[in-house]
Amino acid sequence: MHRTHTHLNFHKSSYSTTAQECVEVAEFFEGAAVRDTQHRELGHLAFPTAEWHALLGAASRK
């Protein structure tokens, strides 16, 4: 994804287990973005919807 997402509403991921291993997620029309809670200044990674759903499916099977 090459778009810049400037108005994302991040929240703590339900898959985060501890404060040291915490990521935040923001869903948007074309997919979702993920960032490290402890290093927000480094930006985020954006994923298209299909890739995001595949990641969630794999995570829920573990």
pLDDT (tens digit per residue) in 16-40 = 766 667 889 999 989 999 999 889 9
Token pair of 23, please?
């990521």
62: tokens are 């573990």
pLDDT of 45 strictly over 90: yes
Model pTM score: 0.74
Report whether 8 contacts 32 (CB < 8 A): no
Instruction: Answer whether residue 1 shows pLDDT above 60.
Output: no
Q: Which residues pair with 20 in a beta bridge?
A: none
pLDDT of residue 7 exceeding 70, the answer is: yes
